[in-house]
Amino acid sequence: MRNLVAMAKRIIRQIVRDKRTLALLIIAPLLILTLVWFIFGAKAAEPNLAIIHYKSSDLLPAFKSSDYARMSPLQARQALADKKIDAYIDLETPVKVHLEGSDPSRNGLAMSKINKSMQIVQQINVKKMKASFTDIIHAQQKSIQEQQQTLRQMTEVMQRYAPSALTSIMQNAPKGEKPTATAAPEKVKLDVTYLHGNDDLNTFDSFGPAMVGIFVFLFIFMIGGVSFLRERTTGTLDRLMASPIKNYQIIWGYMIGFGLFVIVQSFILTCYIVYVLNIYTIGHLLDVLIIVFILSFSALSLSILLSTFASNELQMFQFIPLVIVPQVFLSGLFPIDTLPGWVRALGNLMPIHYSTEALRNIMIRGTRFEGWWFDGLILILFSVVFIVINILVIRASRPVVD
């Protein structure tokens, strides 16, 4: 126990005295998250659009002047080339859309806006058709009335001259059914409700949980790994091994020493994204903290394990593209449901995958313990496995009978 305290105390002193590391551990994740927040949290800009050949068009009401600039064809073409507008619409039938086209995301924005206007265009067309149909029906009704008039006159003549023939005709005549007035169809309007989240949920809100995991993992991995690697390369680990300290005390000392910093880091990071960046969260802060904390433990134990296979700092950092980058892509930041089975299986081996799942459950779906215990358990299992291997590795290099 005393050895554990001594180890933990030493590590805390090392981090506190090394201001750069301290800054990297606490301030760097905040900076990067803020940047991510600006990039993904910003509302998408409105596309700039214009219409041409609008004067003679009766579709004009669909294109409000606040959304669509009125331009001559020449102006529009020029503006498109200068990237002042993203698209212009030619209102001559058939309606044509000309897109700037170099940026897919802007194309998408322009098209979705135009599509909305086109729905109004369709409504206008439907109204026009309705009006012309009504005209036709009126004309037909008129001719029917005139025919009925003649028929009535004929019936009167027949009643006067041949009543028996009339009765047989009347009996055989098809019974006309009076057309019942059909109810006008209700206007189609979508009523959207959200099981989780709301329509304000932006990209950052859904990225956030994954991002927290990635950055906590990355920084703990780097600092923990290098710190243990130095222990090996400077020879202090040998000195430890030539002392009565027990193998598990070395590893757990590290876990505890860094663990205390991780608590501080997780707390600052979580409070920052919840209260400063205002990420969408309906879950409890404590649950978020617990998950971030468990995740850091698996990052720390993994980094200590991998530092065994590195002989200097550069080799330690070579693990980042191997260990961190795949986790970024397979952790749930991007949908992986359509990927081949083996890639998804790979994703299941990654700690951040579980932290993202758990943090989404907590922050967006608002679940408590029942929503994240499984992911938390797997993260703890990761740590336990890594810690056990670490202790075995140290034992293998220390042939002393315990």
Partner 1 sequence: MTYYLSVFINGHFYLYWLLNISQSHSIIINEHSVQLGNTKDVTIMSYPVKGEHLHKHYKNQIVLNDVSLTLHEGEIYGLIGPSGAGKTTLVRILLGLEKADKGAVELFEQKPTLNAFRSLGYMAQSDALYNELSAYQNLDFFASIQGMSGKAKKQRILEVAKTVNLEKDLKKSVAQFSGGMKRRLSLAAALVHRPRLYLLDEPTVGLDPMIRRNIWTLFHYLKGKGATIIVTTHVMDEVAQCDRVGLLSEGKLIAQGAPKELMDHYGVPSVEEIFIAIEKAGDKK
Binding site for partner 1 (CB under 8 A): 2-3, 5-7, 9-10, 13-14, 17-18, 234-236, 238-246, 397-402
Nearest approach in angstroms of CB 19 to partner 1 is 10
Residue with smaller CB distance to partner 1, 21 or 298: 21
Secondary structure of residue 50 in the 3-state scheme: strand
Nearest approach in angstroms of CB 7 to partner 1 is 7
SS (H, E, C) 279-346: CCCCCCHHHHHHHHHHHHHHHHHHHHHHHCCCCCHHHHHCHHHHHHHHHHHHCCCCCCCCCCHHHHHH
Q: What are the CA-CA distances from residue 306 to residues 131, 140, 204, 253, 299 (Å)? A: 76, 87, 32, 18, 10
Could you tell me if 279 and 36 are in contact, meaning their C-beta atoms sit under 8 angstroms apart? no
Q: Across-strand partners of 89?
A: 51, 97
Could you tell me if 61 and 120 are in contact, meaning their C-beta atoms sit under 8 angstroms apart? yes
Residue with smaller CB distance to partner 1, 136 or 396: 396
Q: Measured between alpha carbons, how far is 60 from 269 in angstroms, rounded to an integer?
A: 52
Q: Across-strand partners of 87?
A: 49, 99
Q: Measured between alpha carbons, how far is 212 from 33 in angstroms, rounded to an integer?
A: 8
Helix axes 19-41, 203-233, angle to 10 degrees: 160
Q: Measured between alpha carbons, how far is 394 from 397 in angstroms, rounded to an integer?
A: 5
Residue with smaller CB distance to partner 1, 10 or 196: 10
Nearest approach in angstroms of CB 370 to partner 1 is 43
Residue with smaller CB distance to partner 1, 14 or 167: 14
Q: Measured between alpha carbons, how far is 212 from 210 in angstroms, rounded to an integer?
A: 6
Picking from 106, 113, 136, the residue whose alpha carbon sits closest to that of residue 64 is 113
Residue with smaller CB distance to partner 1, 243 or 311: 243
Residue with smaller CB distance to partner 1, 316 or 352: 316
Nearest approach in angstroms of CB 386 to partner 1 is 23
Residue with smaller CB distance to partner 1, 13 or 142: 13
What is the token pair recorded at 354?
């579980």
Nearest approach in angstroms of CB 246 to partner 1 is 7
Q: Are strands 87-90 and 49-52 parallel, antiparallel or unpaired?
A: parallel
Residue with smaller CB distance to partner 1, 19 or 160: 19
